């Protein structure tokens, strides 16, 4: 399959929303306005994967800090301080069901992990939803407790069963 990975841009939003609709229940769908605000964030590093001009997968991500959760419908908040950001935050990844099992998600992950490592980021974090924990564990992520009440509240915005997970980009233990 010939596919093209590129940075998420405004022209990709209709395709991204179609993938999102095909993959998630209504409770987890985030709209075009939310993604447009995320595109404007200087921390944004989201990707899409196109096949025959159609968005078939995407990975919404940005540079952040460990143990900071972006709530559902939340913006990608840029962090500016010495040595920060230190974490690639994977907010959302989806592949059209008819393209599942072809390594597309892994291709998006590998590209972002490599870019984050080159930038000096040491970790990658995410919130696992819809029973995806085992998938993320196979990718090297481990469940991490959140010490701050504000971050636990943000995690709760995803509903029951959502867990915060962390992965060292150098392959070590989180």
Nearest Cα to Cα of residue 58 among 24, 127, 113, 12: 12
Question: Distance (Å, rounded) from C-alpha 108 to C-alpha 88?
Answer: 13
When pLDDT is cut at 50, 70 and 90, the band that residue 25 belongs to is confident
118: tokens are 């080159």
Compute the average pLDDT of residues 98-115: 94
The structural domains of the chain, with segments of one domain joined by +, span 4-168
Compute the average pLDDT of residues 59-64: 95
The single residue listed with the structure tokens 């989180």 is 174
Average pLDDT for the chain: 91
Nearest Cα to Cα of residue 110 among 159, 165, 59, 160: 59
Half-sphere exposure of 112 (CA within 13 A, CB side): 32
Please provide residue 165's backbone torsions phi and psi, each rounded to the nearest 5 degrees: -130, 150
CATH fold of 4-168: Aminopeptidase (3.40.630)
When pLDDT is cut at 50, 70 and 90, the band that residue 82 belongs to is low
Please provide residue 32's backbone torsions phi and psi, each rounded to the nearest 5 degrees: -60, -40
Strand partners, 143: 165
pTM of structure: 0.92
């Amino acid at each position: 399959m010939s596919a093209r990975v590129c940075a998420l841009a405004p022209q990709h939003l209709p395709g991204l929303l179609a993938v999102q609709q095909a993959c998630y229940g209504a409770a987890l769908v985030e709209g075009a306005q939310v993604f447009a605000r995320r595109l404007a964030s200087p921390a944004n590093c989201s990707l899409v994967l196109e096949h025959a001009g159609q968005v078939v997968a995407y990975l919404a991500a940005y540079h952040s800090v460990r143990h900071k959760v972006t709530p559902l419908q939340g913006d990608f908040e840029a962090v500016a301080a010495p040595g920060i950001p230190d974490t690639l935050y994977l907010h959302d990844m989806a592949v059209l069901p008819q393209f599942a099992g072809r390594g597309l998600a892994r291709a998006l992950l590998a590209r972002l992990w490599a870019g984050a490592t080159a930038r000096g980021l040491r970790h990658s974090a995410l919130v696992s939803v819809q029973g995806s924990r085992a998938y993320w564990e196979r990718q090297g992520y481990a469940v991490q407790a959140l010490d701050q009440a504000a971050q636990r509240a943000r995690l709760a915005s995803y509903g029951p069963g959502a867990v915060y997970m962390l992965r060292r980009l150098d392959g070590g233990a989180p």
